């Protein structure tokens, strides 16, 4: 290797090692390829940013997106309507079946089934609640059973539900045998009342056999301390060798 570096320098070039810590985007591309992901379940889809990112990275499998807020769902539906392998649902996923109340905020990506706490209101002024909507809630177990995904699919479950990811996961306990990868937003400094601390979230995920594969800061305080991170986890029982 030293010889290669010396030769490159003598020719006026510099060899640079491939990054050992790729971006979330690059890591997801690698995970999808390595673990043969063919279905993505996108919980907390907003207006489809995650699905569009996957499409831009070449993923052509089926995407199921869930967005419970009515106005945001309509935007999502319009964006997805020309993609035959992208289905969208005006529903929340959680730990139970029934109705729920969601807080709709000034910023559509901060809407939550939980109330913002004092820290959240200070750190993110657009977390202010403008109104509430009554929404339908289902469980992931029910959805996977209806779609008959349990036996054949290798699923990436993406959750970005503003503090409600663990409830989504709790509603999927009968389906863990087909969920290969999780992408969950975890909070070092929760911005919603009753949202779990990241250590509690990791403890639950790891207790079910999911091991961290990558951590990516989403938001920071002014002092650069991390508020939230995206966490990629792989199901050890289903990982490709």
What are the pLDDT digits (tens) for 100-114? 999 999 999 999 999
Percent of the chain having pLDDT more than 90?
Answer: 88
Structure tokens at 85: 């392998």
132 neighbors 101 (Cβ within 8 angstroms):
yes
pLDDT at 7: 67
Instruction: For residues 238 and 217, give the distance between their C-alpha atoms in angstroms, rounded to a whole number.
Output: 26
* pLDDT higher than threshold 60 for residue 5: no
Instruction: For residues 180 and 157, give the distance between their C-alpha atoms in angstroms, rounded to a whole number.
Output: 8
**Structurally, what CATH architecture does the domain formed by 24-95+137-235 represent?**
3-Layer(aba) Sandwich (3.40)
Map out the domains of the chain as residue ranges.
24-95+137-235
pLDDT at 75: 98
- Can you tell me the mean pLDDT for 69-92? 98
CA distances from 233 to 97, 134, 238 (A): 26, 32, 12
């Amino acid at each position: 290797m030293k010889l290669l570096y010396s030769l490159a320098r003598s020719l006026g070039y510099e060899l640079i090692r491939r990054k050992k810590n790729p971006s979330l985007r690059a890591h997801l591309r690698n995970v999808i390829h390595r673990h043969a992901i063919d279905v993505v379940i996108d919980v907390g889809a907003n207006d489809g940013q995650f699905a569009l990112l996957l499409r831009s990275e070449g993923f052509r499998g089926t995407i199921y997106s869930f967005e419970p807020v009515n106005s945001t769902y309509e935007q999502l539906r319009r964006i997805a309507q020309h993609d035959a392998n992208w289905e969208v649902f005006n529903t929340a996923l959680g730990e139970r079946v029934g109705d729920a109340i969601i807080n709709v905020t000034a910023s559509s990506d901060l809407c939550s089934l939980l109330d913002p706490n004092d820290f959240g209101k200070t750190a993110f002024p657009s977390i202010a609640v403008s109104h509430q909507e009554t929404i339908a809630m289902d469980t992931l177990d029910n959805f996977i059973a209806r779609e008959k995904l349990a036996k054949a699919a290798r699923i990436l479950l993406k959750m970005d539900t503003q503090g409600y990811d663990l409830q989504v996961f709790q509603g999927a306990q009968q389906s863990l045998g087909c969920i290969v990868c999780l992408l969950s937003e975890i909070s070092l400094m929760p911005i919603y009342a009753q949202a779990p601390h990241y250590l509690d979230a990791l403890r639950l995920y790891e207790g079910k056999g999911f091991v961290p594969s990558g951590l990516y800061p989403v938001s920071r305080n002014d002092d650069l301390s991390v508020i939230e991170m995206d966490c990629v986890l792989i199901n050890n029982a289903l990982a490709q060798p």
